[in-house]
Structure 1
Amino acid sequence: MRKPWRIALTTVGVIVAIPVLLLTTTTVVNVVATAVEKDSIESYGQLVPVDGKQMNVVVSGAGDETIVLLPGLGTAAPGLDFRPLIDELDDTYRVVAVEPFGTGLSDATDTPRTAQNITREVHEALQQLDVDRYALMGHSIAGIYALTYAAAYPDELTAFVGIDSSVPDQPGMDDPVQTSTLVALRNLGITRILTAIAGDPFAGLPYDEHVKEQMALLTTKNATASTLIDEMDRIPANFAAASGMTFPPNLPVLLFVVSDGAEVPGWMALHEEQAASVDFGQVIPMAGEHYLHHTLSKEIAQDTAIFLSSR
C-alpha cells in the first residue's frame, strides 16, 4: 500500500521541480546576459552633471531657435527614439533631446520621481548647456511634466509642443500600475523570454539595424529598473497634482493628437480644451500610433515650423 503513495509523491515532486528548475535557469541566464549586454551599449550624446550624477543629452543642429525634446514614460533610449524627429528638425533648429534619469545613458537615481523633481533636474541639465530660451516639445506624460515646468520657468519657454501628450484629468490615471509583477517577471528572466518571442518591436520604423540593436539593449537595461518603477508608481500622484492645471495664457501651445483616441474617452476634446485655455493654441489631429514621431516626424517638423514662425 505504500508503493503507490511513493510513486504519486515522486510524480508530484517532479511536476513541481520542473518549473522551479526552469525559473532558476532563466533567472541565472538573465543575470549573466544583462551583465554581458552592458558592455555592448555604446555612448552617444554628452553627459552633463545634475544633482551629483550624470544626465545624457543629445544636441544636434545650430539654428537660432532651440527645441528641447522630452520623452514619454518608459522610453528607454530617448536620444535614439527621437532620432527621426531630430533629423527633421535640426536643419532649422538647435535640438536638445534630454534623457531624464533612468533613461538612455543617464544615471539612475533614488530621488523620488515627482513631476517637481523631474522638471528641476531637466532644467539643471539645460542650465549646464547654457540653454535658457527654448520651445519644449514633449511626448506622452511629458505633457504633465511640462505644466509643472511652465509654472516654474515661464520666462524661459517660447512654446509647448505636445506629441500625443498627456493632459490633466484624463480618465484612468488614478489606477496604480502593478509594478511588482513587472519586477518579478524581469528578475525571473521571463521578460527576456517574452521579448524574444515578441520579435522586433522596431520593425518597419525608420531606424537602421545598429540603432535598433542599441535601443533593444537599453530597453533591457532600463525598462524595469528602479528609477522607472518609481516613476510608474507615482503616476496617480503626478496626475493628481496636475489636476486643473493649465499653461500660462501667453504661452503658445501646439498639440499633435492621435485622431483615433478611442482608448481614452474624450481624448481629442481634452486637448482641444487645453489648447483653448491659452491665447494662441492649436490642435492638429494625426492618423497614427501613440509614438507619432516614429512615423510622422516630417509632418510634425513642418507643422511645428509653421506654428513657431507665426506665434
Structure 2
Amino acid sequence: MAIIVSVIIAVFACIIVASYSNHQIQLSKEDELFIPNGQVVEVNGHQMHVYIEGDGEETLVFMSGGGTSSPVLDFKSLYSLLSDKYRIVVVEKAGYGFSEVTESKRDIDTILSETREALLKSKVEGPYTLFPHSMSGIEALHWAQVYPEEVKAIIGLDMAVPMAYKNYDINMSLIRLGTFAANTGLTRWIPNLSESDAIKYGTLTDKEKELYEVIFYRRTSTKNMIKEVDHVKENAKKVENAGIPNVPMLLFASNGQRTGWDEKTWVGFQKDFIGDLENGKLIELNSSHYVQNIKYERIAKDSENFIEGL
C-alpha cells in the first residue's frame, strides 16, 4: 500500500513539474503580446494600468468584479457603444489585467485610494459616473460615501450590495486551490477555461480574444484577488454601517446565474437596497452575471438615457 501511495505521489509530482515547465515556456512566448493598451502609472509603489477612450465631457469609470482577468477587454463590448459621447476610463486594480501583482493590502480604503490616485496621475478628474460590476459595487458605494463630490451617479452592472455578503459562504480553500492551478499552469489543460463571457458573447476581435487568453493565464486567482475575497465581508460590513449614499443609481440585475444565489434572492438584495432611494431604478435582465458581455446594447441605451436625465 505504501508503495502504491509513493508511486501516485511521484506521478502527481511529475505532472506538476511538467505542467509548470510548460507554463513558463508558454508565458515566455506570450510576452510579446502582453503589452498594455493604455497608460501605466505608479501608485503606492507599484504599476497600475489605466485605459482611456473617448473625449466627452462626462467621465464614466468602469470597475471590474472580483477575479476578472482583463477588465479592459471585459467591458469593451459595452463601453465601445458609449465612447463616442463620453470619456471612458477603466482602472485595472493591482493583480488585474496589465497592473502589477503586489503585496498591498486589500481593505476597501486601500483599494479605493489606489483607484483614485491612478485616476489623478492619469489626469482624469471627477465627478465620475461609476460603472461597478459585481464585487466592486462595494468599492463604488464606499467611494460615494467618503467622497460624494466625486461621484455623480452609480450604474451597477449586476453589482453586489453589502447584504449579499452577510451570509455568503466563501470557500477560501477552494479559492487557494485555484491559485495553485493557475501558478502551476494546470489551468492550461482545462478545455475552454479561458473562454470568458467577453470572448463567447461580446464583440471582441480575434486579436483581442487572443490577448484576453494571454492575460487570463497571467491574471487568474492572483494574490491581490485572493486578498480581496478574504477581506470582502469586512469591507461590506464597513459600507453597510455607513448607510446608503445619496447619489442617483441605476442597477442592472442578472438572473443570479454564477453569483452563488438563486434569482429571487440575488435580485432581492438589489431591490431591498435601492427601494428607499429617491433617485434609484432597478432593471432586471434575463442574463447571467456578466451582463456587460451579454446585454451590452440594452445597458448602453438605458445608461445613456439615465445619464442624460441627471
Structure 2 length as normaliser, TM-score?
Answer: 0.88
- Deviations, residues 189-210 of structure 1 (Å, cap 9, x unaligned): 322212x464744234321111
The answer as to whether partners of 2:158 and 2:254 remain within 8 angstroms in 1 is yes
Aligned twin of 2:133: 139
Query: Where does 1:167-186 land on structure 2 (aligned, <5 Å)?
Result: 167-170=161-164, 172-173=167-168, 175-178=170-173, 179-186=175-182
Shift of 1:69: 0.7
Distance, in Å, in 2 between the alignment partners of 1:281 and 1:211 is 35
**169-178 or 142-151: which moved more?**
169-178
- Deviations, residues 56-88 of structure 1 (Å, cap 9, x unaligned): 111111212111111111111111111111111
- Indicate how the Cα distance of structure 1 residues 174 and 114 shifts in structure 2: closer, same or farther if over 3 A, else same: farther
| 2:216 matches 1:219 | yes
Shift of 1:14: 4.9
The answer as to whether partners of 2:255 and 2:263 remain within 8 angstroms in 1 is no
| 2:215 matches 1:252 | no
For the aligned residue pairs, the C-alpha RMSD in angstroms reads: 2.3
Aligned twin of 1:228: 225
The answer as to whether partners of 2:93 and 2:99 remain within 8 angstroms in 1 is yes
- Deviations, residues 84-103 of structure 1 (Å, cap 9, x unaligned): 11111111111111111111
The answer as to whether partners of 2:255 and 2:289 remain within 8 angstroms in 1 is no
Equivalenced residue count is 302
Q: Which amino acid aligns with 2:19?
A: T
Identity percentage of aligned residues: 28
| 2:283 matches 1:284 | yes
| 2:294 matches 1:295 | yes
Determine helix, strand or coil for the equivalent of 1:49.
Answer: strand
Aligned twin of 2:38: 45
Shift of 1:11: 7.0
Shift of 1:12: 6.8
Determine helix, strand or coil for the equivalent of 1:108.
Answer: coil
The answer as to whether partners of 1:79 and 1:97 remain within 8 angstroms in 2 is yes
Structure 1 length as normaliser, TM-score?
Answer: 0.88
Which of 21, 25, 38 aligns to 2:18? It is 25
The answer as to whether partners of 2:41 and 2:49 remain within 8 angstroms in 1 is yes
Aligned twin of 1:102: 95
The answer as to whether partners of 1:61 and 1:95 remain within 8 angstroms in 2 is yes
Shift of 1:276: 2.5
Distance, in Å, in 1 between the alignment partners of 2:23 and 2:236 is 34
Q: Which amino acid aligns with 1:287?
A: N
Shift of 1:160: 0.6
- Indicate how the Cα distance of structure 1 residues 29 and 153 shifts in structure 2: closer, same or farther if over 3 A, else same: same
Aligned twin of 1:238: 235
Q: Which amino acid aligns with 1:50?
A: V
